[in-house]
Amino acid sequence: MRRQLAAFLAILTVLNGLIMLVAGPLWYQTVPGVPDTGPFNPHFVQDIGAAFLVAGLALAARAWRPRYWPAAVAGAGFLAVHALLHVVIMAGGHAHHPAFDLLAIVLPSAAALYSAFPSQGEHHA
């Protein structure tokens, strides 16, 4: 089940990264709360898009080959730190769209961490 979850999250994360890389302005205007952060910065959006792309590919590696779980942990680690930043913003009362942050950022990152590690008894050597 963890591999299937990793595959699902990999698809979403890779798609997000690709959209950020090839259609940054569209991504910027479409994602709730993003336009509230200031003017569009194409280099910044592309840098973050690259990080999402790599994180998604790391989760895909876990789904493809169980022994690649350490790569998935690294990718999920990026997603978790990103989510932690959003949790801090929400706790401080500064989130513009806390429900979106929780459903689209925090919960998927927790699921990514869960899916990255091998389950007990799973062959991963």
The answer to whether residue 32 is domain-embedded is yes
Between CA 112 and CA 58 the distance in angstroms is 10
Sign of CA dihedral 120, 106, 100, 53: negative
- Number of structural domains the chain divides into: 1
pLDDT at residue 122, rounded to an integer = 73
> pLDDT (tens digit, 9 = 90+) per residue, 84-97?
999 999 999 998 89
pLDDT classification of 120: cutoffs 50, 70, 90? confident
Q: Which helix (H) or strand (E) holds 89?
A: helix 69-91
Q: Is 83 helix (H, G, I), strand (E, B) or coil?
A: helix
pLDDT at residue 123, as a whole number: 61
**Is residue 124 domain-resident?**
no
Domain assignment of residue 32, given as a range: 2-116
Q: Is the pTM of this model over 0.75?
A: yes
Q: Report how far residue 61's alpha carbon sits from residue 103's, in angstroms, rounded to the nearest whole number.
A: 24
Q: Is residue 121, in this structure, part of any structural domain at all?
A: no
pLDDT digits (tens, 9 = 90+) for 44-82: 999 999 999 999 999 999 999 999 999 999 999 999 999
